[in-house]
A = this chain, B = another copy of it.
Amino acid sequence: MARTKAFDEDRAIDAAVDCFWTHGYEATSVRDLAQAMGIGGASLYNAYGDKRELFVLSLERYANRSMRERIARIEMRYPPRQAIAAFLGEIISRSANDPDCKGCLLVNSALDVASRDAGLGKAVASYLNEIRAFFGRSLEAGRRTGEIAGTIDSNVMSAHLLGVVLAVRVLARTGAKRSLLESVARPALDLIERPAKTRRPRKRSKIVN
């Protein structure tokens, strides 16, 4: 027994994600948001309560549609070691073909807003930890199948791989070339290749796109 909303909430959130992603939290005004979402300011406050609450929703939406989707898709499609390479390769490709230098919303937020808002900081850290957990799972699975050397500590290496992701996304935001991004990742990929017991020609893992 009430008037129905005249806008698609999902599309609206996607527009909000895009705003925050491109310009950051502080530099995105509520009016920018409302215009991009195609609604008035009153509707925004009625539907989402607050700029900050809308940002929290946007983070969650981004995590679901971008990060978690990627992890699930890759984890399903590739065996463990290739999954790691595919993940890094995809991040690098995304970052290299990123004319607006948007980078990753989660990483951007980590530096932009997480330090000033403890709650958001915890949320961001938790999202980043999901990436680390993916690497951890893949490393353990790879060790079981023998794709990955048993000498590798998956707790340590998963943190290192998360670090590679962060570094790539930071450099991408400064407009770095693809070759630099690949150099950042290359040694980490080499590390998780099964080291030959007997000397044989080093085969470099192709970065999957």
Residues of A in contact with B (beta carbons under 8 Å apart):
23-24, 26-27, 100-103, 107-108, 110-112, 114-116, 121, 124-125, 128, 155-160, 162-164, 166-168, 170-171, 173-176, 180, 183-188, 191
Asked whether A110 lies within 8 Å of B186 as measured between CB atoms, the reply is: no
Asked whether A168 lies within 8 Å of B163 as measured between CB atoms, the reply is: yes
State in angstroms the CA–CA spacing of A114 and B172 once bound together: 11
Chain B residues lying within 8 Å of A23, measured Cβ to Cβ, are 116
- Smallest CB-CB separation from A108: which chain B residue? B111
Question: What number of copies of this chain does the assembly contain?
Answer: 2
Would A115 and B128 be within 8 Å (CB), given that A159-B183, A166-B166 are in contact? Answer: no
Asked whether A107 lies within 8 Å of B111 as measured between CB atoms, the reply is: yes
A-B contact pairs, 28 of them (CB 8 A): A24-B26, A24-B111, A26-B26, A27-B116, A101-B115, A107-B170, A111-B111, A111-B173, A114-B174, A121-B174, A124-B174, A155-B183, A156-B186, A156-B187, A157-B187, A159-B184, A160-B164, A160-B186, A160-B187, A160-B188, A162-B167, A162-B184, A163-B163, A163-B167, A163-B171, A166-B166, A166-B170, A166-B171
Chain B residues lying within 8 Å of A101, measured Cβ to Cβ, are 114-115, 121
Asked whether B170 lies within 8 Å of A184 as measured between CB atoms, the reply is: no
- Smallest CB-CB separation from A114: which chain B residue? B174
Asked whether A183 lies within 8 Å of B171 as measured between CB atoms, the reply is: no
State in angstroms the CA–CA spacing of A115 and B108 once bound together: 11
